[in-house]
């Protein structure tokens, strides 16, 4: 067995040899002629000239050898449904969906926006796009019309696939009216909307000529064979939007061959999942974890994937462990927030079930605090592996890699740089930090296979956003602070930008500010992330009203706060809702007009606000402190 150090070193010293070997983990229709083309840095093209297909690797190749083996188990504790799909059945369902899409005019390179709850048809739709070379863009179902409209305009989809409603905590969450509103708001109007009617929203209205019922269309294609469209490795497979420092989300564009190889390699070396085993990722298909480790990763590895609609607490906090026992789950993937939620409940729920099939639990998406890490590892008595990555990379940057070498797991650290990533901690002048010195987590390009190939439709933005940390050297910025200790373990210390992380979900404070600014009573607003015990961070808003009369009485304040929160719900979705909206008459700014975000955040967290000598109006600070309850209003 090689060491992770040697493995990593080989991947950096000789990426061609390293990745050509890993590329054998997937099936190629046509072999590649060159492993890496890095002639136009920072753009990297992997497996040049090779032709493959994500759906073929995830479904067909297993269906051919093991048609009756389990490919996907759909479990909804919301609708009390459990459906098991074999690889043959999954292939058939994907072909039905693909044929339906083709009948609506979708072809190679066309975008298909998927706005769906966690139902099997969402997975079929993603795989169907991959099969026919269409580019999917899944938008998380918790996002509302404003967010959706921005993404529709950027991706300009030919088709949108959606459903009447999702279910959460026993309640139907209607989707269709949000989608209709989003299409009204958007400049781009998709020609067709393919609707899965779950019968959950009795009031949903079909728009004649545009909306098509999937159940009806599907019956026309029950036995249709839809051949795989072979794609050159660099052809885009999907776009996934993520928040940044501007109000406009970035479309992370993923390739085909590089992504397939990266996922296959990660399943082997990091997640240790193999043919015939079962993986349960508790994320949502709207997030990158859902793309990589609910849909593509486990299926490419020939595993059965569990697709779960529901919360970790219903019908009781033992539900996830019950699923592990019933389906003999070998690999589980979740987020630290979920672990913190479970920690608040009786551990008897965990110990009631036979968890002996489980080899590892992986947690990612946000910092895993030491007490939670220690607690869950102690309870489960198995390695709980913190892994650090981003929507942009598509798979882990830092992790323990038990498939290569079993290294000591230390609490509060996602361990070591993963093979393929030439990761260093940089000082702000571009030099490399010493051990134990805080700096910016950067990656020296080329980025390994699977990472974003560009920002959809905007190569310039790809370079200017991610590769402009220093003039020299050209480095990918993760926008995270980090430290590498003397033993090589890495610690992530939070974002360098205005992005916040709520329960593992990335939110841009600017997007929330823009939504609030849309309210007619608000003149100006600042949103900051404030530490939260359960969710890691929560947004908190500080707003200046246009007319003081609108907050003249406590009742008026409360009513306006409610109205502002609703504004966020309607535009972005409840996921972005601030914990509070505090009203001020002026925001703390520097004399040059720059918002003192870090100071606002520090005060909201009860910390020292730092150097405030540049503040323009000291009264702003007093008001802020008053609003936060530091001083009684005079």
Q: Where do contacts with ligand AMP occur on this chain (CB under 6 A)? A: 242, 288, 364-368, 386-391, 414, 478, 480, 492, 495, 501, 506
Q: Which is nearer to ligand AMP, 172 or 288 (CB)?
A: 288
The helix/strand/coil state of 354 is coil
State how beta strands 165-168 and 159-163 pair.
Answer: unpaired
Q: Give the separation between CA 505 and CA 496, rounded to whole angstroms.
A: 16
**Bridge partners, residue 130, by sequence:** none
CB closer to ligand AMP out of 389 and 421: 389
The DSSP bridge pattern shows strands 536-545 and 581-584 to be parallel
Phi, psi of 64 (to 5 degrees): -70, -40
Q: Are 598 and 610 in contact (CB under 8 A)?
A: yes
Least CB distance from residue 23 to ligand AMP, whole Å?
26
Measured from the CB atom, the residue of 67 and 383 that comes closer to ligand AMP is 383
Nearer to ligand AMP, 115 or 479 (CB): 479
Shortest Cβ distance from residue 283 to ligand AMP (Å)?
10
Closest distance to ligand AMP from the beta carbon of 371 (Å): 15
d(CA 270, CA 81): 31
- CA atoms of 294 and 284, how far apart (whole Å): 8
- In whole angstroms, the minimum distance from the beta carbon of 256 to ligand AMP comes to 21
Quick check: 471 and 457 in contact, CB under 8 A?
no
Q: Which residue, 259 or 389, is less far from ligand AMP as judged by CB?
A: 389
42, containing H or E segment: none
**Proportion of the chain in helix, strand, coil states, percent, rounded to 5:** 35, 25, 40
CB of 493 to ligand AMP, least distance (A): 9
Rounded to the nearest 5 degrees, what angle is found at the Cα of 148, between the Cα atoms of 145 and 152? Answer: 130
User: Which residues touch 348 (CB under 8 Å, ≥6 apart)?
Assistant: none
N- to C-terminal Cα distance for the chain? 70
Residue whose CB is less far from ligand AMP, 127 or 368: 368
Q: Which token pair is 500?
A: 């916040």
Sign of torsion, CA 469 436 413 602? negative
User: Is 370 in contact with 410 (CB distance < 8 Å)?
Assistant: no
Within 8 A by CB and 6+ apart from 610, the residues are 598, 599, 602
Burial of 244 per CB tally in 10 Å (0-12, 13-18, 19+): buried
Residue 305 C-beta: closest distance to ligand AMP, Å: 19
Pick 249 or 317: Cβ nearer ligand AMP: 249
Note the Cα 12 to chain centre separation in Å: 27
Residue (13 or 428) nearer to ligand AMP, CB: 428
Minimum CB separation from ligand AMP for residue 366, in Å?
5
Least distance in angstroms from the C-beta of 16 to ligand AMP:
29
State which residue, 414 or 417, has the beta carbon closest to ligand AMP: 414
Q: Which residue's CB is nearer to ligand AMP, number 529 or number 588?
A: 529
Identify any residues that bridge with 595 across adjacent strands, giving them in sequence order: 589
Number of C-alpha atoms within 13 angstroms, CB side, residue 253? 22
- For ligand AMP, the closer of residues 293 and 388 by Cβ is 388
CB of 504 to ligand AMP, least distance (A): 7
Residue 480 C-beta: closest distance to ligand AMP, Å: 5
The least distance separating ligand AMP from the CB of residue 56, rounded to whole angstroms, comes to: 27
CA–CA separation, 169 vs 63, rounded Å? 35
Alpha carbon distance 291, 252 (integer Å):
12
């Amino acid at each position: 067995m090689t060491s992770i150090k040697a493995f990593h070193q080989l991947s950096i010293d000789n990426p061609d040899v390293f990745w050509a070997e890993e590329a054998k983990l997937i099936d190629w229709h046509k072999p590649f002629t060159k492993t890496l083309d890095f002639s136009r840095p920072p753009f990297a093209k992997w497996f040049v000239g090779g032709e493959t297909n994500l759906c073929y690797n995830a479904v067909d190749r297993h269906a051919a050898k093991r048609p009756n083996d389990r490919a996907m188990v759909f479990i909804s504790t919301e609708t009390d449904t459990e459906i098991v799909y074999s690889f043959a059945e999954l292939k058939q369902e994907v072909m039905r969906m693909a044929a339906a899409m083709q009948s609506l005019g979708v072809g190679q390179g066309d975008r298909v926006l998927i706005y769906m709850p966690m139902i099997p048809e969402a997975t079929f739709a993603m795989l169907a796009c991959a099969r026919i070379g269409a580019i999917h863009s899944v938008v998380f179902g918790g996002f509302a019309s404003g967010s959706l409209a921005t993404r529709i305009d950027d991706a300009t989809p030919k088709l949108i696939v959606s459903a009447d409603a999702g279910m959460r905590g026993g309640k139907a969450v209607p989707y269709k009216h949000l989608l209709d509103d989003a299409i009204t708001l958007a400049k781009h109007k998709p020609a067709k909307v393919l609707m899965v009617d779950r019968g959950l929203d009795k009031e949903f209205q079909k728009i004649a000529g545009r909306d098509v019922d999937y159940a009806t269309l599907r019956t026309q294609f029950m036995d249709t064979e839809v051949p795989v469209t072979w794609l050159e490795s660099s052809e885009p497979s999907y776009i996934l939007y993520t928040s940044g420092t501007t109000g406009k989300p970035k479309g992370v564009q993923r390739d085909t061959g590089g992504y397939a190889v990266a996922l296959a390699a990660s399943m082997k070396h990091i997640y240790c999942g193999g043919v015939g085993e079962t993986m349960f990722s508790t994320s949502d298909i709207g997030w990158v974890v859902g793309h990589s480790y609910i849909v593509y990763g486990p299926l490419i590895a020939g595993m059965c994937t569990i697709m779960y609609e529901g919360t970790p607490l219903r019908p009781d906090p033992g539900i996830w462990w019950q699923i592990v026992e019933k389906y003999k789950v070998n690999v589980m993937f979740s987020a630290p927030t979920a672990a913190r939620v479970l920690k608040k409940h009786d551990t008897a729920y965990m110990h009631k079930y036979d968890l002996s099939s489980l080899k590892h639990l992986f947690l990612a998406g946000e910092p895993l605090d030491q007490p939670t890490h220690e607690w869950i590892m102690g309870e489960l008595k198995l390695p709980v592996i913190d892994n650090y990555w981003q929507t942009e990379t598509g798979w882990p940057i830092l992790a323990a890699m038990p498939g290569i070498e079993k290294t000591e797991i230390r609490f509060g650290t996602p361990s070591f740089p993963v093979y393929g990533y030439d990761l260093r901690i940089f000082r702000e002048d571009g030099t490399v930090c010493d051990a134990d010195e805080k700096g910016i987590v950067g990656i020296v390009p080329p980025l390994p296979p699977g990472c974003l190939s560009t920002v959809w439709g905007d190569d310039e933005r790809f370079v200017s956003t991610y590769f402009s940390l220093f003039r020299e050297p050209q480095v990918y910025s993760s926008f995270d602070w980090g430290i590498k200790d003397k033993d090589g373990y890495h610690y992530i210390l939070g974002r360098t930008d205005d992005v916040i992380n709520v329960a593992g979900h990335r939110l841009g404070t600017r997007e929330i500010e823009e939504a609030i600014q849309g309210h007619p009573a608000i003149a100006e607003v600042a949103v900051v992330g404030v530490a939260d015990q359960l969710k890691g961070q929560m947004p908190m808003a500080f707003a200046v009203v246009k007319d003081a009369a609108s907050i003249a009485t406590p009742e008026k304040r409360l009513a306006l706060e409610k109205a502002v929160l609703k504004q966020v719900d309607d535009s972005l979705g409840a996921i972005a809702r601030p914990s509070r909206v505090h009203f001020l008459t002026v925001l703390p700014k520097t004399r040059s007009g720059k918002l003192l975000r870090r100071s606002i955040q520090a005060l909201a967290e009860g910390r020292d606000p730092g150097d405030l000598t540049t503040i323009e109006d000291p009264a702003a600070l007093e008001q802020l402190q008053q609003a936060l309850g530091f001083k009684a209003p005079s």
